[in-house]
Amino acid sequence: MTHTDFSRKPLRKHYCVRGGAAAAMLLPVLYLPQAASAKTETGQMSLSAVVSAYCDIVALPAIGFGSISSTRENRSSSNSMVLNCSTGTPYTIYIGDGGARLGGNTNTLRGMRNLANPAQIQRYQIYKPGALYSQVWESRERGAGESGGYQSTGTGANQSIPIVAAIPAGTVLARAGAYSDTLTVTIAW
């Protein structure tokens, strides 16, 4: 028995066509596959980002005093705003004067207007967290001796900031009716 060694040459199948138009045709050639060696190439790519300082107001509360019949004692109500500022970003929160604040100093109370008769005003004030009746929460930075806005630093997570509204003891109550005010909250960073 004769043994043929095929490992040296690939097995080829040839077609031969002679002359004429058929000679211009491409004819298939069959090669048996040979073992391929896997190759790899590595490289590096870079990624970059610039994280800007930011502050977002996540939620603003509604604050209600309920039914009031006397101001012999201080009357207060509170709720919290939620904001999110980038980690390490110092910020200041200002709360606007509302629709009926008279004067421009920190001793002037804000005012809620009567819904049926806007000329009727019920006085109240907004105070900074932990400073009830001592530090008024202002609508802008004030001069020496005035309280201005509330200052803190961002954590990159939601932060809950208490807001306290109060009708100080001895404040004259307006006529009976429903009263309301709208305040603008501004964050500066």
DSSP string, 13-71: E-----STGGGGS----EE---PPPP------------PPP-EEEEE------------
Amino acid identity, residue 111? Answer: G
Query: pLDDT tens-digit profile of 101-142?
Result: 866 555 678 999 999 999 999 999 999 987 677 788 988 776
* Cα–Cα separations (whole angstroms), residue 22 to 12, 13, 28, 35, 97: 21, 18, 13, 34, 96
Domains of the chain, first to last: 55-188 (2.60.40.1090)
CB atoms under 10 Å from CB of 172, counted, come to 8
- Give yes or no for residue 152 having a pLDDT over 70: yes
Handedness of CA 97, 103, 105, 107 (dihedral sign): negative
pLDDT interval class at 37 (50, 70, 90): confident
pTM over 0.75: no
**Beta-strand relationship, 55-59 and 121-127:** unpaired
The DSSP bridge partners found for residue 186 are 94
Greater model confidence, 53 or 35 = 53
- Give yes or no for residue 44 having a pLDDT over 90: yes
Mean confidence (pLDDT) of the chain: 83
Greater model confidence, 38 or 34 = 38
Neighbour-count burial of 110, counting CB atoms closer than 10 A to its CB (0-12 exposed, 13-18 middle, 19+ buried): buried
The dihedral over CA atoms of 84, 90, 95, 97, expressed in degrees to the nearest 10, equals -150
Give the DSSP letter string of 89-141: -EEEEEE---S---SSSTTSPEEEEESS-TT-EEEEEEE-TT-TTTSB--SS-
Looking up tokens 């929460």 gives 137
**Close Cβ partners of 178 (under 8 Å, ≥ 6 residues apart):** 114, 115, 116
